[in-house]
């Protein structure tokens, strides 16, 4: 059974599943170099199929998903097409009742889709907004050049969901487990996918059901509670669900109607931290402040706060401003990017971070009580959706005692939606059973396209005379020695990782023992000087260096307290924490590198940050890596076992930490 899964929303991606296993997941942004690129074309689909060793004729079924209500945009004439039609391969096509209902369901789904073409084609009255950055090929917009397919995202609406309920009221409910099975197939819609002249059966999958499937079906659990939450509109269930999963099925229990994800995004933008990468910066900035403006009355969903259809951002900003004025803060620097760490901005960030954390903890408590009331005392929790990138929140949930284990998948944001949609079709629709996973199972995050040796050879050959190759016996050993000399290196290994966090295959690495490396590495990446870096630590040594977090932690999605901050100041944030990645042999030569660094220095920890510059996606290909080396102060590039340096540096003496730090500071 081969499944082709397509995410047309922002962070667009194509995934291929073969015999229930995820073969790959290709993120469009990595190839087009447009961060968070929205929409798909057939070229990425073709690349994913070729990488998996398949042709379109080998595909049995397709899975389709998008961002909430965001329609599917395709270039006119592209050989990829989505049609709201039943296919002979759908079981529904043989059911008279389903055929009769299909047209009505498809029409209803189309009505709730967000017409992006209206925003693009009429900029005087409709603001294109976020589309300028993530859909640049549509600017200026030519309506005749694009096809628009509605993206269904509002499906079933059971009577018990039509009442306005606070999280506390949801927690007091009881769900009849016997009735849950009625909801198993209420959140997908059959479609026909046409690719290169071949018609394939497909299914559109509701956004948060894809998030939940991405989490649960990769967790190794056989039963779990699931909290899916992101920045979707809280006026419906577009912001997320409280769900229950057992065996090979996921059942939405209630929408939670949280608006904190959207509020967090808007607060990040309000503080001028950016548009699409602002949330991660807000999380880092929060540690520089105190939650001075946090008040418990803001915790809860939109009905607890009585905000109607508002996302609460105006109320929250007004509240923070009012308290800041009363408490004597310097207000002239408010929301000015160049003063990000000023007390008023840092404290707004810290207060907003606490609001996010406490709202999601309140949601998890509601889910725990709802399950207990319903006779479903499950002990595992899956946290997914964009808010699951909040490392402090994940650690708070893990330490709250509500559940025995919390799982967050590496592509918990929309970059993992294609995987989730494919797994949903595999298990939820085709009813294929879960494969048993042994103790200690963690799905591999390395799902990017395979990089063949010929591609590395070609990139080096095309690099030009300003880039030269250095002969080394063992790249991992050489890289460890370079880090011990306090060099900053690029590490490119095998297939890239899914999700936004660097996990050692597309990483910039440095020595954590030198506190000055916070400034140096941020300079190489072109980031704000105050932004923190994460540690990668040998899994077997992690407990001696980090505490207060679940270990192992292979995806850099939990915050830990640093036990020996004086020895690793460059990865210790101002509040004494770090978002840790534990590394084992499954990570490849990256593991051997850290082992060698440990042997040389006595420290089993390195700085690990994503291999990209400001506003760029993480690099994907050898050509991208070489271009980065050429254009930055990176000292060395390790490219699948090959070592490259700039020709101007090839004969330079290897300097020690003190001399190199003085040189870099002088240049700055």
At 324 the pLDDT is 96
668: pLDDT strictly greater than 60 = no
Task: Say how far apart CA 49 and CA 62 lie, in whole Å.
Answer: 12
Whether residues 399 and 479 fall in one domain: no
Residue 661 pLDDT greater than 50, yes or no: no
Do residues 415 and 558 share a domain? no
Backbone phi, psi, residue 39, to 5°: 90, 160
Mean pLDDT of 396-418: 98
pLDDT exceeds cutoff 70 at 365: yes
Query: Per-residue pLDDT tens for 447-478?
Result: 999 999 999 999 999 998 999 999 999 999 99
Average the pLDDT over each of 304-313, 356-365, 370-379 and give the range with the smallest value.
Answer: 304-313
| Least confident residue range of 165-174, 199-208, 642-651, 659-668 | 659-668
Co-location of 52 and 162 in the same domain:
yes
Q: Which residue has the higher pLDDT, 125 or 167?
A: 167
What pLDDT does 658 receive? 47
**What contacts 24+ positions apart, CB below 8 Å, involve 523-531?**
523/633, 523/664, 523/668, 524/488, 524/632, 524/633, 524/634, 525/609, 525/612, 525/613, 525/614, 525/632, 526/613, 526/614, 527/614, 528/281, 528/340, 530/284, 530/285, 530/288, 530/340, 530/341, 531/281, 531/284
Return the DSSP state at 169.
Answer: H
Measured in residues, the chain has a length of: 668
pLDDT of 19 higher than 50: yes
Residue 107 belongs to a domain: yes
- 405-556-232-361 Cα dihedral, nearest 10 degrees: 40
The per-residue pLDDT for range 84-135, each reduced to its tens digit, is 888 998 877 666 656 666 666 666 666 666 677 777 777 666 666 677 889 9
Whether 530 maps to a domain, the answer reads yes
Identify the pLDDT of residue 98: 61
Domain boundary among 413, 429, 445: 429
Q: What CATH number is attached to the domain comprising 521?
A: 3.90.870.20
The parent domain of residue 83 ranges over 2-259+361-429
Q: Specify whether 408 is located in the same domain as 545.
A: no
Residues 369 and 492 in one domain: no
Residue 623 within any structural domain of the chain: yes
| Domain identity same for 162 and 242 | yes
Same domain? 384 vs 479: no
- Please give the tally of structural domains in the chain: 2
- Per mean pLDDT, which range of 84-98, 279-293, 299-313, 341-355 is the poorest? 299-313
Residues 394 and 458 in one domain: no
For residue 552, say if its preceding peptide bond is cis, omega within 30 degrees of 0. yes
Q: What is the pLDDT of residue 82?
A: 94
The predicted pLDDT at position 558 comes to: 98
For residues 107 and 215, membership in a common domain is answered with yes
**CB-CB contact of 267 with 320 (8 Å):** no
**What pLDDT band is residue 228 in, cutting at 50, 70 and 90?**
very high
Q: What is the mean pLDDT of the chain?
A: 91
- pLDDT tens by residue, 42-86: 999 999 999 999 999 999 999 999 998 888 989 999 999 999 888
How much of the chain, in percent, has pLDDT values that exceed 90?
A: 76
pLDDT at residue 102 in the model: 67
Contacts of residue 80, defined as CB under 8 A and 6 or more positions apart, other chains included, come to 40, 41, 42, 45, 74, 193, 194, 195
What pLDDT score does 336 carry? 94
Share of the chain above pLDDT 70, in %: 92
Q: Is residue 252 part of a domain?
A: yes
Residues 407 and 492 in one domain: no
Per residue in 491-541, pLDDT (tens digit) is 999 999 999 999 999 999 999 999 999 999 999 999 999 999 999 999 999
In a domain, 654, yes or no: yes
| Range list of β-strands (E), 129-187 | 146-149
What was the pLDDT predicted at 125?
A: 65
Is there a single domain that holds both residue 390 and residue 464?
no
Asked if the structure places residue 281 within a domain, the reply is no
Lowest-pLDDT range, 229-233, 292-296, 354-358, 369-373?
229-233
Lowest average pLDDT, out of 25-39, 235-249, 272-286, 577-591, goes to: 272-286
Domain shared by 375 and 474, yes or no: no
In a domain, 331, yes or no: no
Q: Which of 132-136, 172-176, 204-208, 467-471 has the lowest mean pLDDT?
A: 132-136
In a domain, 346, yes or no: no
């Amino acid at each position: 059974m081969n499944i082709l899964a397509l995410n047309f929303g922002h962070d667009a991606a194509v995934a291929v599943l073969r015999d229930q296993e995820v073969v790959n997941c290709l993120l469009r942004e990595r190839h087009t170099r447009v961060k968070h690129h929205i929409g798909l074309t057939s070229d990425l689909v073709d690349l994913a199929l070729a990488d998996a060793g398949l042709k379109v004729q080998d595909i049995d079924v397709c899975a389709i998903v998008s961002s909430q209500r965001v329609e599917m945009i395709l270039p006119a004439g592209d050989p990829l097409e989505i049609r709201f039609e039943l296919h002979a391969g759908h079981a529904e096509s043989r059911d008279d009742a389903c055929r009769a209902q299909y047209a009505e369901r498809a029409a209803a789904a189309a009505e709730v889709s967000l017409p992006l073409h209206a925003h693009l084609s009429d900029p005087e009255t409709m603001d294109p907004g976020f589309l300028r950055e993530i859909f640049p090929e549509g600017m200026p917009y030519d309506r005749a050049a694009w096809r628009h397919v509605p993206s269904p995202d509002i499906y079933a609406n059971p009577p018990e969901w039509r009442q306005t309920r606070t999280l506390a009221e949801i927690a007091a409910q009881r769900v009849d487990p016997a009735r849950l099975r009625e909801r198993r197939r209420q959140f997908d819609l059959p479609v026909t996918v046409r690719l290169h002249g071949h018609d394939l059966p497909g299914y559109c999958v509701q956004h948060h059901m894809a998030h939940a499937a991405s989490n649960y079906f990769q967790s190794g659990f056989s039963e779990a509670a699931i909290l899916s939450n992101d920045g979707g509109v809280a006026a419906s269930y577009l912001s997320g669900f409280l769900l229950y999963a057992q065996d090979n099925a996921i059942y939405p229990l209630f929408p939670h109607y949280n608006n904190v994800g959207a509020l967090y995004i808007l607060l990040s933008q309000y503080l001028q931290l950016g548009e699409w990468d602002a949330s991660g910066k807000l999380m880092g900035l929060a540690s520089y402040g105190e939650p001075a403006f946090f008040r418990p009355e803001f915790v809860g969903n939109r009905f607890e706060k009585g905000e109607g259809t508002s996302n609460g951002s105006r109320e929250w900003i007004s509240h923070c401003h009012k308290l800041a004025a009363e408490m004597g803060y310097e207000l002239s620097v408010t929301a000015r990017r160049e003063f990000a760490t000023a007390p008023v901005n840092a404290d707004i960030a810290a207060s907003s971070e606490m609001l996010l954390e406490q709202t999601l903890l309140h949601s998890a408590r509601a889910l725990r009580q709802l399950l207990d009331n319903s006779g479903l005392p499950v002990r595992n929790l899956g946290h997914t959706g964009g808010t699951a990138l909040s490392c402090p929140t994940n650690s708070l949930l893990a330490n709250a005692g509500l559940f025995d284990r919390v799982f967050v998948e590496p592509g918990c944001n929309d970059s993992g939606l294609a995987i989730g949609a494919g797994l949903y079709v595999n298990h939820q629709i085709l009813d294929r059973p879960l494969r048993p996973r042994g103790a200690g199972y963690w799905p591999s995050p390395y799902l990017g396209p395979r990089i063949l040796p010929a591609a590395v050879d070609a990139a080096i050959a095309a690099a030009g005379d300003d880039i030269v190759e250095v002969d080394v016996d063992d790249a991992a050993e050489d890289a460890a020695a370079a880090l011990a000399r306090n060099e900053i290196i690029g590490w490119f290994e095998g297939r890239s990782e899914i999700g936004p966090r660097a996990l050692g295959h597309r990483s910039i690495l440095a020595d954590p023992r030198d506190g000055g490396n916070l400034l140096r590495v941020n300079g190489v990446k072109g980031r704000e000087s105050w932004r923190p870096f994460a540690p990668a630590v040998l899994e077997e040594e992690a407990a001696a260096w980090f505490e207060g977090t679940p270990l192992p932690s292979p995806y850099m999605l939990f915050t830990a307290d640093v036990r020996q901050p004086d020895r690793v100041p460059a990865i210790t944030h101002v509040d004494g924490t770090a978002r840790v990645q534990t590394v084992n042999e499954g990570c490849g030569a990256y593991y051997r590198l850290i082992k060698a660094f440990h042997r040389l220095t006595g420290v089993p920890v390195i700085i690990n940050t994503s291999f990209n510059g400001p506003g760029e996606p993480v690099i994907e290909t050898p050509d991208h890596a070489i271009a980065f080396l050429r254009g930055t102060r990176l000292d060395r590039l390790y490219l699948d076992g090959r070592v490259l340096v700039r020709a101007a540096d090839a004969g330079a003496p290897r300097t020690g930490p003190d001399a190199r730090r003085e040189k870099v500071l002088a240049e700055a």
